[in-house]
Amino acid sequence: MSRTAQACSEQWHRPWLWSGIERGRGLIVSAETWPPPISPLRECETFVVSRTKSNGNLGIQFCGRNASTAPTFYSSMTTAIVIFKSEAFSRNSRVGFTYQIAGCNREYNKAFGNLKSPGWPDNYNDNMDCTVILRAPQNHTISLFFHSFGIEDSSECRHDFLEVRNGSFSSSPLLGTYCGTLLPNPVFSQNNELYLRFKSDSATSSHGYEIIWTSSPSGCGGTLYGDRGSVTSPGYPGTYPNNTHCEWALIAPAGRPVTVSFPFISIDDPGDCVQNSLLLYDGPDANSPSSGPYCGADSNVAPFVASSNRVFIKFHAEYAARPSAIRLIWDS
């Protein structure tokens, strides 16, 4: 099934709300324009598209004249909302959006995002076989952080499993196969692509998984996007390498202030928090008011409560002579 909606006026269009009917099957939304663009206009002058899930604004926003460059949007649930705004629309122009019921295969060509098991937050269905390919920009490596995990446990994960491979093919080197309820350690790719396959058998399901992923050219850091999630130092739970420098920009949905807690923090340091430290900023970048520096080992650090939906995190470690790692969790 697919449906198309059109807009042709210079105003905020009433949002379209589209719903699928099959639990566990999201929607794919894509955009096109008529007539095709002839000459480029200023970015964002012609149309602004924001497509969101029904329970918040964890969607994507796209500005530009050429709809063919708009990323395809996958909803994780059966509903998608499309909001369209035009500021300078010519009389003969049209923009359209098409949706169709999606299978569970996904391909993301972007630097960061989040992944949820099919049907989340409900249990996944039986007999699923889903492939997800993450493709970050060239020269980036990907960090995959598990925030919630529950897949039917079985010996050697023979019943249901999530597997992660370093590359974009089913034959790429295996990084891990996961089932059960133990939260897997983060996965760090060696290049800019990861291949994930989720498979369930014909009986017994569980609540599935919630994953935050990001990427950066330095091997650590990137944008973290989602209403909640977690992040760790590289190599976690092992010790981070010497000269580690990570900068994470955390973005929760608008209007939802972020709280960051510290379930594990052990930063080897002589005590002055100069060479090795963690800083949290109450805003989008390092110009925002900071909290910290945090160093040493402490199991009882008070949560950091931000005033908005944006937090910037800077972790710098020149050396680690003793076992050292950090894990942070955020909620909004």
Q: Which residues bind Ca ion (CB under 5 A)?
A: 152, 159-160, 200-201, 204
Structural contact between residues 96 and 32, judged by C-beta atoms closer than 8 angstroms: yes
Nearest CB to Ca ion, comparing residues 125 and 290: 125
- Nearest to Ca ion of 75, 200 (CB atom): 200
- Decide the pairing of beta strands 27-34 and 304-305: unpaired
Of 153 and 331, which CB lies nearer to Ca ion in the complex structure?
A: 153
Q: Tell me how far apart the alpha carbons of residues 127 and 151 are, in angstroms, rounded to a whole number.
A: 13
Q: Which is nearer to Ca ion, 87 or 153 (CB)?
A: 153
CB of 126 to Ca ion, least distance (A): 6
Least Å distance, CB 151 to Ca ion, is 8
d(CA 130, CA 141) in angstroms, rounded, equals 23
Q: Which residues of 146-182 are buried (b: 16+ CB within 10 A; e: fewer)?
A: bbbbbbbeeeebebbbbbbbbbbeeeeeebeebbbee
Q: CB of 153: closest distance to Ca ion in angstroms?
A: 10
Cross-strand bridge partners of residue 222:
248
Smallest gap from Cβ 187 to Ca ion, in A, equals: 22
C-beta of 123: minimal distance to Ca ion in Å? 10
Among residues 45 and 201, whose Cβ is nearest to Ca ion?
201
Nearer to Ca ion, 106 or 159 (CB): 159
How large is the C-alpha radius of gyration of the chain? Answer: 21
Location of structure tokens 């196969």: 177
Say whether 156 sits in a helix, a strand or coil: helix
Q: How far apart are CA 119 and CA 121, in angstroms?
A: 6
Nearest to 148 by CA among 162, 129, 138, 169: 162
Nearest distance, CB of residue 205 and Ca ion, angstroms: 5
Nearer to Ca ion, 204 or 307 (CB): 204
Give the span between the Cα atoms of 123 and 208, in whole angstroms: 6
Closest distance between Ca ion and the C-beta of residue 48, in Å? 43
